[in-house]
Structure 1
Amino acid sequence: MKKRNIRILAILLIIAFFFSFIQTRPYSVRHSTIYTNDNTLEIELYIVTNRFFVIHPDQYCKEIIQKHRRINKLSADTTYQIVLFANSWCFKKGYSCAEYKYRVDNDRIQLQK
């Protein structure tokens, strides 16, 4: 009985360690495509969230857009298409969690429908 409890506890600790390791990186951009027109910029981002579910996906996408604009020093009006995946396996199989399209005008991020 005692060995069984130790085995179950060890398995639970391994699973907990695995899931905490997965969620150490908040997200990773797996694929990005940029299209340019006359004075507009369209960006597609395929993002692996490393989470089982995103509680507020709209706010999560806005944070990703703000960070992307800050890193790449973008100032032009931009359209973002963001496709979220839960993990790498879902990305490889093509099972997306959500897909959003945003318009950024003068650092104001708006969800397009």
Structure 2
Amino acid sequence: MRYCFALDLIDDPALIAEYEKYHEKLRPEIEESIRSAGITEMEIYRIGNRLFMIMETDDSFSFEKKAAMDAANPKVQEWEALMWTYQQALPMAKPGEKWMLLDNIFTL
């Protein structure tokens, strides 16, 4: 299954550069947590301060499973807190909402 998400970064060139640096070589424990949740591929794109993530999953993936795994993993919690220092919610996000799932409106 493919899922697409959007999120904004704080609009500061130095912070954006730092954020990208963290993603050049992902921490092994973070990559392992992603893969063990059933995520087979993940790409993040950026234009300005807007991020777009494409996530491919296998049949074992569920958002509930991923959330439970993340909540139980202190390394993921540490990573998420660090990343939140660079990220900001989209204007239409609810309190505490981070990456927002996009609706597919066209497929060719």
Ranked by relative contact order (alpha carbons within 8 Å, sequence separation 6 or more), the top structure is 2
TM-score (norm 2): 0.32
Of Structure 1 and Structure 2, the greater strand share is in: 1
Kindly name which structure, 1 or 2, has the bigger radius of gyration based on alpha carbons: 1
TM-score (norm 1): 0.31
